[in-house]
Amino acid sequence: MIITRSPLRITLGGGGTDLPSYYRNYGGFLIAAAIDRYVYVTVMRPFTPGIFLKYSKLEHVDQIDEVEHPIIRECLRMMNLNTPQIEITTLADIPAGTGLGSSGSFTTALLKALYAHRRRLIHPDELAELACDIEINKLGEPIGKQDQYIAAFGGVTAFRYHTNDRVEAAPLQISMATLFDLEDNLLLFFTGFSRSAGTILKDQNIRTQEFDQEMLNNLHFVKELGFRSQKALEQEKTDEFGDILHEHWEHKKKRSGGMSNPQINEWYDLARENGAIGGKLVGAGGGGFLLFYTRERRKLRQAMAKAGLEEVRFRFDFEGTKILL
C-alpha cells in the first residue's frame, strides 16, 4: 500500500494572476503558503481485477474509460495501465469547494501515489506541471497553476508565471520571527458556504481572454500587490502586509458579482471592527474561508465565534506532497 498526503494552501498575495489567460500575455506573480491540513490518497493492488475507487462515491469498474471521477480517470490514463488492477481511496481534512486548493492537492497526491506504485520518482516541479496539464489542458478547467505548485513544493513560496508557461518557484526570504508572527496572527474562519472555483473563475477567464480593460487593470494591480506583499514580509513589516490584504480584498470583490455576498461582507466588517487589520476570502471567492491578519487574536476569535464562524487553526507545511508509507 502507498499512502501520500498533499497540503492545502492559503494565498498571501497576487491571487488570480496564475491563470493562463492572464500570465501568457502579462506574466503572473503570487505568494502562497502550504498549511498543515491535508488531502490523503492511498493506492494498492487488490486481489481481484478491476478499478476500485473510494471517495465521496464508490466506483467499481473494469476499464479506465468507465471511471466517473474525471481527475482519477485522466491520471490513470496518463499512467498507461493496460490491465487495471488498482484500488484508490482518498480522504481530506477539509471538504472540497472551500477555497483552500483541494483539487490541486488531490491531483498532486494521486499522481505522487501512482508514481510510487509504479516505483518511479517525480520531482515537485514535474509533479505540479503534470497536475496542471490534467486539470487545465485535459479537463479544461478555467483555473490557475497556484494550487498544484504550492501543494507540490510546500512552504511559504513566491511563484512567477512566465509567458512561455514556465513557472519559477522560490521560498520567500522571511525571518523566523516573521514566520512565527504569521502563524500566530493569521486566523482562518469557515463561512459555511461552499462553491466551485471553476464557476467563479470562468467569468474572469472569459473577460481576460477578451482583453476586458477593467479586468486586466484589476489583475495588474493585484499582481503589484503581490510584489508589495513580498517586500513587506521580507522587511518584517507584517502590519503593512495586513493593510495590503485589505486592499487586495477591496479589489478582488470588483472582479465578479459572485465574489462576495452581503453576509460575507457583514462578517468581514465585523472582523475589521474587532481587531482585523486586513483579510480576504481565500481562493476564487464566493465562499469558503475568510483569512484575517490581526494583533488582537482573542478579540477577533470571540467576535467570529459569536457570529457563528468556526476557526480552523493551522501551521505552515514545509514538506509539500510526500509519501507517508
What CATH number corresponds to the domain at position 222?
3.30.70.890
User: Which residues, other chains included, contact 292 with Cβ-Cβ below 8 Å and sequence gap of 6+?
Assistant: 186, 187, 189, 245, 271, 276, 277, 278, 279, 300
The confidence score (pLDDT) of residue 285 equals 66
What's the maximum distance between 2 C-alpha atoms anywhere in the chain?
A: 60
Residues of the chain with pLDDT under 50: none
What pLDDT is stored for residue 199 in this prediction? 66
Query: What local confidence, expressed as pLDDT, does residue 51 receive?
Result: 96
**What's the burial of 311, exposed, middle or buried (CB within 10 Å: 0-12/13-18/19+)?**
middle
User: Looking at the 3D structure of the chain, how many domains does it have?
Assistant: 2
- Residue 155 belongs to domain spanning: 2-173+317-323
pLDDT of residue 196: 64
Q: Is 9 helix (H, G, I), strand (E, B) or coil?
A: strand
Q: Mark whether 241 and 185 lie in a shared domain.
A: yes
Residues 72, 162, single domain; the answer is: yes
pLDDT score of 197: 64
pLDDT of residue 82: 73
pTM: 0.94
Q: Are residues 67 and 157 in the same domain?
A: yes
